[in-house]
Amino acid sequence: MRKGMPIGRLDPEIDRFDEAIAEGDELRMEYNTSHLNRDQRKGLLEKILHAKVKGATKVIPPFHFDFGFNIHLGENDIVNYDVVMLDDAEIFIGDNVLIGPGAKFVTASHPKDIEMREMNPFMTYAEPIKIGNNVWIGAGAIILPGITVGDDAIVGAGAVVTHDVEPRTIVVGNPAKILRRL
């Protein structure tokens, strides 16, 4: 998807978009349902990401994504089970990041303007998400489009992150607010 630019059912690029999603569907099903050993799973993850898996990075299935190739994992990351990364735009994950079970990274959204939605049904746009180094994303946290989480931050379980998170802070709640600085 074009960064920040809307796409909808009437857009000429929609067929290419749908094909890429279908490819992602096949890889996701294989990753989540196959009984693969560690090396086979790592190889399939590299195929999904279109990149080498660095260090001890581990993604525990089930793992949900749209495309896969817009996800950039760092070194020594742990992505726990049932994490969702809707990678309509790029998702950058730094090094030594812990992502709790059920966390969601949502790069896509829809226009707030009713007329825009009526003109082009299912109109969607996407903004990248950036997660710094040494970050801990708690279980069930939701990171919304365009968010940056700074180095050494903690996002509490169940937090809904609607604004950037400063480095070395703990945020909790819905919407996420600073609990304290580290």
Does residue 4 carry a pLDDT above 70? no
Q: Are 129 and 107 in contact (CB under 8 A)?
A: yes
Indicate the SS3 state at residue 79: strand
103 occurs within a structural domain: yes
Percentage with pLDDT > 70 across the chain: 91
Strand partners of residue 155: 137, 171
The answer to whether residue 156 sits within a structural domain is: yes
Question: Which range of residues forms the domain containing residue 55?
Answer: 14-181
Residue 175 or residue 125, greater confidence: 175
CATH number of the structural domain spanning residue 35 = 2.160.10.10
Whether residue 8 lies inside any domain: the answer is no
Catalytic residue among 50, 64, 72, 110: 110
pLDDT at residue 84, as a whole number? 98
Residue 100 is predicted with a pLDDT of 99
Residue 112: which pLDDT band, with cuts at 50, 70 and 90? confident
pLDDT band per the 50, 70, 90 thresholds, residue 164: very high
Report how many domains make up the chain: 1
Is 118 inside any structural domain?
Answer: yes
Q: Is-contact 71 92, C-beta < 8 A?
A: no
The yes-or-no answer on residue 110 being catalytic is: yes
**Which pair of tokens denotes residue 77?**
């990351």
What confidence tens digit (pLDDT) does each residue in 6-48 have? 666 666 666 677 777 778 788 889 999 878 898 999 999 999 9
Q: Is 36 helix (H, G, I), strand (E, B) or coil?
A: coil
Which whole-number Å values give the CA distances from 54 to 46, 72, 76, 148, in the listed order? 10, 10, 7, 22
Please tell me the distance from the alpha carbon of residue 98 to that of residue 59, in angstroms, as a whole number.
10
Each residue of 42-99: pLDDT tens digit? 999 999 999 999 999 999 999 999 999 999 999 999 999 999 999 999 999 999 999 9
Q: Find the mean pLDDT for residues 168-182.
A: 98
Residue-level pLDDT at 48: 94
Asked whether residue 19 is assigned to any structural domain, the reply reads: yes
Expressed in angstroms, the distance from the first to the final Cα of the chain is 36
In a domain, 94, yes or no: yes
pLDDT at position 8, please? 62
